[in-house]
Amino acid sequence: MKQLLAAALCACLLVQPAAAVTGAPEVEAGSAVLMEKETGAVLYEANAHDKLEPASVTKVMTLLLVMEALDAGRIQKEDLVTVSARAASMGGSQVYLKEGEQMTVDDMLKAVAVVSGNDAAVALAEHIAGSEEGFVALMNQRAAELGMADTNFVNCTGLPAAGHLTSAYDIALMSRELILRHPDIRTYTTIWMDTIRDGQFQLANTNKLVRYYEGCTGLKTGSTDSALYCLSATAEREGMELIAVVMKSPTSAQRFESAKAMLTFGFANYTLVDVRPGEALPPVDVALGVVDQVQPVLGQSSRILVDKSQINEVTTAVRLTEGVEAPVEAGQKLGELVVSVAGEERQTIPLVAAQAVERITLPGIFLRLLEQLFMAG
Q: Which residues are annotated as a binding site for substrate?
A: 220
CA distances for 10 relative to 14, 151, 164, angstroms: 6, 22, 19
Instruction: Give the chain's end-to-end CA distance (angstroms, integer).
Output: 101
Give the whole-angstrom CA distance, residue 296 versus residue 282: 8
The alpha carbon dihedral of 255, 260, 262, 263 has a sign of positive
Phi, psi values for residue 164, rounded to 5°: -85, 95
DSSP at 55? G
> 252 an active-site residue?
no
Question: Other C-beta atoms within 10 Å of 204: how many?
Answer: 12
Whether residue 169 contacts residue 48, with contact meaning beta carbons closer than 8 Å, is answered with: yes
Buried b (16+ CB within 10 A) or exposed e, 15-25: beebeeeeebb
Strands annotated E in 269-322: 270-274, 284-287, 293-294, 296-298, 303-307, 314-320
Q: Please identify which of the residues 37, 59, 208, 248 carries the catalytic annotation.
A: 59
59 is catalytic: yes
Task: Tell me the C-alpha distance between 254 and 279, whole Å.
Answer: 50
Spot the catalytic one: 31, 84, 93, 116.
116
Q: Could you give the count of Cα atoms lying within 13 Å of 43 in the half-sphere of its Cβ?
A: 32
State the Cα–Cα distance between residues 77 and 237, nearest whole angstrom.
29
- Give which of 67, 121, 113 is closest to 97, Cα–Cα: 121
- The whole-angstrom separation of Cα 287 and Cα 267 is 49
Question: Rounded to whole angstroms, how far apart are CA atoms 221 and 264?
Answer: 19
Query: What sign for the dihedral angle of Cα 125, 129, 130, 132?
Result: negative
- Of 31, 37, 56, 232, catalytic: 56
Number of other CB atoms surrounding residue 299 within 10 Å: 18
Give, in order, the Cα–Cα distances in Å from 359 to each of 128, 332, 348, 351, 368: 49, 15, 29, 21, 13
Active-site residue 56, yes or no? yes
Residues recognised as catalytic: 56, 59, 116
